[in-house]
Structure 1
């Protein structure tokens, strides 16, 4: 699930002619507050705070990030999961120089599986991974999502892809682009509806009830 941490690319803090505001720039894994240095933002950006977390069977890792971001990414939160790994994020913004966005609140992890299903896969070498493996989604995951990432540094290009269950709000992120320190990142999130399947037990009960109705 490490590739999902690329949502940090909401931070499109580019040094551009005619910058509008300055925002704190920082990253911490120990709190939800930081702000050691200032970053000049492009004229179409605002100050953004992102709180994100990745859960695996080995524990949970959290990151809090501040920088420049796009207005359309403000006040968003969402979840994404593959088997044995879950990711969640929340983003808040403010639009005046040196302002401090309100602290983002992470959405709750949900571990209660439903009959909604999606295929899942992870690839660190290509985009748009495909798989016939199926996973069950949780109640707050209404969509099947594929996140394709391309990170370019000079002549080097790294492609990756992950497919799984996601919340509707995660899908609203759509395409994310950024460039910082000579590294370009392009992330595309594509979503579709989950497939609703009856469990074997539900199917057995339905068939049995039908037989009983015909017999009696």
Structure 2
């Protein structure tokens, strides 16, 4: 009898491990909330997430709010990406029970304080990569990011790419690929360490040379 009870408990545990969460899914523009389909089953291992994003480009402000299923790793996607005159701020929150509602994502603060890191900045339409001059990064944006897009219909493809300064949290973005009818869309994020401050590096070298010459004489 005891063996049978232990088997039932073990079977129940294993069965529950393989279960998928049920989460609400929705998407809205120009809002910080949304309502939509309820009880959508997530892929195994994913959790319920809310993602809030605001983009500033010149005088245009765009905000989106999305409730979705997401891998646990994407729960740490909170940060900024600055390229040219555009800035993107994104925040993500998660919960891990059926039909749960993640807390409202809080967008990260921005800062104009230089942080000693330099990154390439560029924008290209028609290519999957681009190169540009160095710009000084600010605040928590200590990584260099290249964001590449591809949209294709059959054998025809449209590419675009941009580089700029990003925070480590923004670099947790997952590469995406989606198909809608005959259209395939791909977005790829590539983060690398930033370049050291060129002026500081030059000053350090001059000081080092001065000390060596002083000791020599």
TM-score range, shorter chain: 0.7 to 0.9
Q: How far does residue 153 in structure 1 lie from its aligned partner after superposition?
A: 4.7
The alignment's TM-score, normalised by the length of structure 2, stands at: 0.73
1:152-167 aligned within 5 A: 152-167=152-167
* Correspondence for 2:14: none
Q: Provide the aligned C-alpha RMSD in A.
A: 3.0
* TM-score normalised over the length of structure 1: 0.73
Please state if 1:197 is matched with 2:197.
yes
Measured against aligned partners, the alpha-carbon deviations of 1:5-54 in whole angstroms (never above 9, x if no partner) come to xxxxxxxxxxxxx9833322222234432222233322232221110111
Counterpart of 1:109 in structure 2 is 110
1:45 to 2:46 alignment: yes
- The superposition leaves residues 83-133 of structure 1 with CA deviations (integer Å, 9 ceiling, x where unpaired) of 2111111111122332211111110122233442111111232212122x2
Q: Provide the rounded CA distance (Å) in 2 between the counterparts of 1:167 and 1:184.
A: 28
Q: 1:181 and 1:19 mapped to 2: Cα distance?
A: 28
Within 2, Cα distance between the matches of 1:115 and 1:188?
Answer: 26
Structure 2 unaligned runs (5+)?
Answer: 1-17
Partner of 1:24: 24
Give the paired residue count. Answer: 190
* Partner Cα distance (1:58, 1:108) in 2: 19
TM-superposed deviation, 1:69:
1.6
Q: Could you tell me which residue of structure 2 aligns to residue 7 of structure 1?
A: none
For residues 1-216 of structure 1, the aligned pairs below 5 Å read 20-38=20-38, 39-131=40-132, 133-173=133-173, 175-179=174-178, 181-182=180-181, 183-199=183-199
Provide structure 1 residue ranges, at least 5 long, that are not aligned to the other structure: 1-17
CA contact under 8 A between 1:19 and 1:42: conserved in structure 2? no
Partner secondary structure for residue 34 of structure 1: coil
The answer to which of 25-34 and 42-51 deviates more is 25-34
Distance in 1 (CA, whole Å) between partners of 2:55 and 2:88 is 4
Q: Which has the larger radius of gyration?
A: 2
Tell me what 1:12 maps to.
none
